[in-house]
Amino acid sequence: MSKTSIKTGGLAGVTAGETAISTVGKEGVGLTYRGYAIEELAARASFEDVLYLLLEGRLPSHKERTDYERRLAEAAPLPASLASVLERIPASTHPMDVLRTGLSMLGCLEPEKDFSQLNACAIRSVALAPAILLYWFRFCRDGKRLDTTKGAGRVARHFLTLLHDRAPTSEHERALDVSLILYAEHEFNASTFAARVCAGTLSDYHSCITAAVGTLRGPLHGGANEAAMELIERFATPEEAARGVRSALDRKEKIMGFGHRVYRDHDPRHAVIKEWSRRLAAEVGDRRLFPVSEAIEQVMWEEKRLFPNLDFYSATAYHFLGIPTPLFTPIFVCSRLSGWSAHVSEQRANNRLIRPDAAYVGPDPRPFPEETER
């Protein structure tokens, strides 16, 4: 048997299925959710509108959005047994592991008994993700047992209220709300594809979501905004940032938050989040981090022709909202639960087991040796 040499490139460019949920980087179209441009959704919709759009297939009426907000509020109380589990998770645990454990435990406490419950499970998971994360975070940091119903009903408000023990300003709530919209869905990325592979086996909702969270946990998929924040905070001035990034490039170091696997010349989400970072910087009186970010952006374009993706300016936007850096990627989960859930539903609706072939590159057939010959 001859060996087959095929450069799969991580399945880049391979069409692995059909979806009516989003289009990413297609010719003439940047990013759409069910046909709506991401720029228009970020300008005119709420995250709850987008959640409804992804799960139900259309934008909600005012009454339907209000009903979704009511359902999210009703789904916000943390089960006592889940709170008990969270209190036993060490403070040193990565927050993504906390979400993975919490959402998996939720599946033990409130299992999806049949597939008709998917949307209800999705709403419960979206409502509880901030509660799971921040109950653990505040218990470890402050010894405080949160009332997870505070601020519930709108995900951005809920998250910031639980984090800061006060209701956010309308500007801060809207900034995080827009971020959630931008992160909500992105076609067959690694975590979404993992959820669909799991759904293809006809597994339960919470197993599919846990697979997705575990996939996002990997630094080649999630975590770029955390790495970007670490880089930005190294520099005191734009000039120092420009020198430092050029030196890093000379050393062949990877600068996170730039370029994209699918987009070729720009990330359509970038301009939206950069403007929010600019607005928040002005509000908090920042004169260092945003200018440093722009200096890094300029160097990366001049030296590598690489553009910022969504993650780069999300870093400073979250920082200006007072969100600790280790919680940046978990916010991705709070948002992407909407897209993951839509894909699990779509996979189930026209299901085939996802089982690709592999190009074998191992040894040719050979006889089994006697033990004395090994």
What pLDDT was estimated at residue 297? 97
Q: Which CATH class is domain 224-320?
A: mainly alpha
Cα dihedral 220/226/228/234 (nearest 10): -130
**Residue whose token pair is 């089960």:** 79
Per-residue pLDDT tens digits for 48-68: 999 999 999 999 999 999 999
Domain ranges of the chain: 20-218+334-349, 224-320
pLDDT at 1 over 50: no
State pLDDT tens for residues 24-35: 877 677 899 999
For the segment 153-198, what is each residue's pLDDT rounded down to a tens digit?
Answer: 999 999 999 999 999 999 999 999 999 999 999 999 999 999 999 9
Q: Kindly indicate the confidence band of residue 263, based on its pLDDT and cuts at 50, 70 and 90.
A: confident
Q: How confident is the model over 271-322, as pLDDT tens digits?
A: 999 999 999 999 999 999 999 999 999 999 999 999 999 999 999 999 999 9
- Look up 266 and say whether it is catalytic: no
Active site residue 164: no
The strand pairing partners of 308, in sequence order, are: 258
Helix (H, G, I), strand (E, B) or coil at 52: helix
Query: Which of these is catalytic: 267, 270, 311, 319?
Result: 311
Among residues of the chain, what percentage have pLDDT more than 70? 97
d(CA 175, CA 179): 6
Q: What is the DSSP string of 331-360?
A: HHHHHHHHHHHHHHHHHHHT----------
Q: Do the bridges between strand 36-37 and strand 31-33 make them parallel or antiparallel, or are there none, so unpaired?
A: antiparallel
- The predicted model gives 331-345 an average pLDDT of 98
What global pTM score does this model have?
0.93
DSSP 63-124: HHHHHHHHHHHHT-SPPHHHHHHHHTS-TTS-HHHHHHHHHHHHHHHS---SGGGHHHHHHH
How far is Cα 155 from Cα 131, in angstroms, rounded to an integer?
Answer: 10
The answer to whether 221 is a known catalytic residue is yes
User: For position 3, what pLDDT does the model report?
Assistant: 43
pLDDT range class, residue 2, cuts 50, 70, 90: very low
Q: What is the pLDDT of residue 110?
A: 97
CATH of segment(s) 20-218+334-349: 1.10.580.10
The catalytic residue among 158, 206, 260, 319 is: 260
From the candidates 97, 147, 221, 266, which is the catalytic residue? 221
**Interacting residues of 279 by C-beta distance below 8 A, sequence separation 6+:** 171, 175
